[in-house]
Amino acid sequence: MADAGGMHRTPRRDKLSLGDYNRVAYVGPNTTLICTGSNAGASGIIVEDTTNVVVTLENGGTLTAANTMNTKQIYPVGIYKVVIAATGKAHVLFK
């Protein structure tokens, strides 16, 4: 029988919560992250450097981090795309 992506994994023994977010993707300068395919399900962002960071939301609209976000704060929003020009740093969180 073929393994269907973890169908046969051993269950966790401790039964503890894995937390609100279980994966993170770093987005650095001169980088674009599009949250589709293996990056689908982006549900939060922490901006480390707001310079030149533009966040496109899942259902439309954009946020320019320098004008709308504080650094090192979690923003629980559905994200479609994060574009960073020459400077800027962000961490996209996944559930």
Residues 6+ apart with CB under 8 A from 79: 35, 42, 43, 44, 45, 55, 56, 57, 58, 92
pTM of the model: 0.80
Please give the mean pLDDT across all residues of the chain: 89
| Per-residue model confidence (pLDDT) at position 80 | 97
Span 21-60, pLDDT tens digits: 989 999 999 999 999 999 999 999 999 999 999 999 999 9
Share of the chain above pLDDT 70, in %: 82
Residue 1 has pLDDT above 90, yes or no: no
Residue 3 has pLDDT above 60, yes or no: no
| Per-residue model confidence (pLDDT) at position 19 | 81
Residues β-bridged to residue 19: none
Give the C-alpha separation, 17 to 12, whole Å.
10
| Per-residue model confidence (pLDDT) at position 86 | 95
